Amino acid sequence: MLDTTRYEARQRIRGTLALAILLGLFALLIISIFPTIAESSADIDAFIESLPESFREGFGAETYTTIEGFVAAELYQTVWVLLLGLYMAYAGGGLLADDIESGRLYLVLATPVARKRVAFEKFLSLGLPIVVLNLSMPLFVFGGSIAIDYPLDPYYLLVVHALSIPYLLLCGAIGLALSVVLDRGDAAQRGSIAVVFLLFLLDSVTLGTDVEWLGAMSPTRYLDPTDILLHETIDLVDPLLLFVVAIVLVLLSLVHFQHRDL
């Protein structure tokens, strides 16, 4: 059982560990400059208030007077939500399209294994980077905040990571959807990145406008690290909605892959 998942996960170990270390070191770098930022945080907050609402909301920039607001804006809203979401979409886009383009998938399907099982087990392999990154990143962030004597609340830090899992799964599911539709790996990967990024822009530019409802189509609308870290607000409905949408998108992708011509 799950032979494909184990194989695919082994292929991701080295890249996942490298990414975890790089993100961790970047987090430490960001956190290390907060004491300097805190000295002029009032001026920075005044500048933030002068920015358009769409920019402030899109990047979670609310206040730099606290470590929670600073980390939420500089690290989680930008790196975790946007860049890691793009990475998961990219990884999902290469799940099947790469093997279709290279012909490797035909060898796999020559064995008595269902297409849907192969596709689903490949998608499950995305759980490795999601789990590893969500376990390692809080250690770097919390340790860094302790080191500069501005400790974050570990409970809400862990909540951010726990509630980001459905979001990252959905980004991977978007990649999977394009991977079963397109035959070229690079096209599926670039397309997945474009879709997630355009949805992020849609959420950002429509805030405070008459068409703000359009942003409801973006996964980023349903994950707000600033609310969790700064305001200690926990909403379980939004992550549940993301998880349900991810499941539906995966199921539709499996059905399409089962019946498409290769």
Q: Which one-letter amino acid corresponds to residue 243?
A: F
Contact residues for 81 (Cβ-Cβ < 8 A; gap 6+): 164, 167, 220, 223, 225
* Across 69-85, average pLDDT: 89
| pLDDT tens profile 209-220 | 778 888 889 999
DSSP letter for 75, please: I
pTM for the full predicted model: 0.89
**98: nearest Cα among 173, 14, 182:** 182
Token pair, residue 140, equals 């770097």
From CA 27, how far away is CA 25, in angstroms rounded? 5
Tokens of 226: 């600033």
Give the range among 17-26, 100-109, 110-119, 193-202 with minimum mean pLDDT: 100-109
Contact assessment for residue 229 and residue 210, using Cβ atoms and an 8 Å cutoff: no
Confidence (pLDDT) at 81: 92
- Residue ranges per structural domain of the chain: 3-259
Overall average pLDDT of the 121-145 stretch: 94
- Predicted pLDDT of residue 231: 84
Q: Which residue has the tokens 């599926």?
A: 188
Q: Look-up: residue for tokens 């459905």?
A: 166
Collapsing DSSP to helix, strand or coil, 196 comes out as helix
Q: What is the pLDDT of residues 32-61, one digit of tens each?
A: 988 887 766 555 655 555 555 555 555 555
